[in-house]
């Protein structure tokens, strides 16, 4: 398959890791002891829910913003985002002392909106789709000269997100399978690039919501397509189209893609809270959901990346109450 440019490689990933030193946290890789009997090779979670701004997004956003020409950066930043990318760009803007506007959907959770406001960003709520948010962000950019920081479809973003993959192999070199969520594809493509660069025989399993099958539809189509609509509780994964550069990576580097439903995600959220004391949003818990449902066969250690933990208290209570049967999911 031909690509417009080479895939992100180890030099870009290692450069991103240097830029992120002292900014992004090296989040813990935690063993899931409760699953040891069911998975004798072991399951670990990479807890990006404990990352600064509560999600992996700070890695890509900071890598991008720190690479900008300072005079361009000073004109300001704009982030079209369902929530976590917006907070990450707001964090980077605060770090560099530049203005920031975030364009979020009208359906955004109060936790994510409040997080941006706390970081000093100006918040605009526009529509419900990625396409609507990007259109408004481009309009603001034309009017103000501020730069739109892409949420996923960019090599600097991909390289930044991929630093989480470097950390996984550094800490657990025997990792056999890494499970990543797929929304626009920034995290999945970055982690896949890092894992395959460091350990080519490791498998990459991508997980998407049953109501937002962007990657599996792209595979069937031979390239990204725009979905008519998406649904499900993992709000960070409900964009309607995979990024083009993300497709370049995942079409080559992803080994499989699986889907999960909302109910089991709630069970996994409850399990993570009960058994590991980790707060995850639905988009963050989706990877462990796939593992617990038996959708990730592996002949070695499995690492599930928990992408984020930004959820308001009422939403968490609602989901974990619905996920009361978590013990049954583990037992099946």
The answer to whether the CB of 175 falls within 8 A of the CB of 169 is yes
Instruction: Tell how strand 256-260 and strand 203-209 pair up.
Output: parallel
285 alpha-carbon distance from chain centroid = 11
The two tokens of residue 293 are 């449902």
The residues near 253 (Cβ < 8 Å, ≥ 6 apart) are 7, 189, 192, 193, 196, 204
**Cα gap 62→36, rounded to integer Å:** 36
**CA distance linking residue 326 with residue 266, whole number of Å:** 8
CA–CA separation, 112 and 284 (whole Å): 14
Would residue 240 be called left, alpha or beta, if left means φ above 0 and alpha means ψ between -120 and 50 degrees?
alpha
As a whole number of angstroms, the distance between CA 195 and CA 166 comes to 7
CA distances to 7, 17, 113, 242, 329 from 160, rounded to whole Å, are 14, 7, 23, 18, 34
Locate 287 and state its tokens.
């990877």
DSSP assigned state of 199:
-
Cβ atoms of 75 and 145 within 8 Å: the answer is yes
Residues marked active site are found at 57, 307
What's the token pair of residue 53?
């701004």
């Amino acid at each position: 398959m031909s690509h417009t440019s080479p895939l992100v490689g180890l030099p870009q990933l290692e450069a991103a890791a240097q830029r992120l030193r002292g900014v992004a946290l090296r989040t813990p890789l935690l063993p899931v002891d409760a699953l040891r009997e069911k998975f004798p090779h072991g399951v670990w979670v990479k807890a990006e829910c404990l990352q600064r701004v509560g999600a992996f997004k700070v890695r890509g956003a900071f890598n991008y913003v720190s690479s900008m020409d300072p005079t361009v950066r000073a004109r300001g930043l704009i982030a079209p985002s369902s929530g976590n990318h917006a907070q990450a760009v707001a964090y980077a803007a605060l770090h560099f002392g530049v203005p920031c506007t975030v364009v979020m959907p009208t359906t955004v959770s109060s936790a994510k909106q409040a997080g941006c406001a706390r970081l000093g960003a100006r918040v605009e709520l526009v529509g419900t789709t990625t396409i609507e948010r990007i259109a408004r962000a481009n309009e603001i950019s034309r009017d103000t000269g501020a730069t739109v920081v892409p949420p996923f479809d960019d090599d600097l973003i991909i390289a930044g997100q991929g630093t989480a993959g470097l950390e996984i192999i550094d800490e657990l070199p025997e990792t056999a399978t890494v499970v990543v969520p797929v929304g626009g594809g920034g995290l999945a493509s970055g982690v896949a690039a890092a894992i395959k660069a460091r350990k080519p025989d490791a498998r990459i399993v991508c997980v998407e919501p049953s109501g937002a099958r962007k990657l599996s539809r792209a595979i069937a189509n031979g390239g990204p397509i725009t979905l008519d609509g998406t649904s499900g509780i993992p709000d960070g994964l409900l964009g309607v189209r995979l990024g083009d550069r993300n497709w370049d990576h995942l079409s080559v580097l992803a080994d499989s893609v699986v889907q999960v439903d909302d109910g089991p995600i709630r069970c996994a959220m409850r399990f993570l809270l009960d058994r590991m004391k980790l707060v995850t949003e639905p988009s963050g818990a989706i990877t462990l959901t796939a593992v617990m449902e038996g959708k990730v066969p592996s002949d070695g250690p499995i690492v599930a990346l928990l992408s984020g933990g930004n959820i308001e208290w009422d939403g968490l209570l609602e989901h974990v109450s619905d996920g009361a049967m978590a013990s049954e999911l583990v037992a099946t």
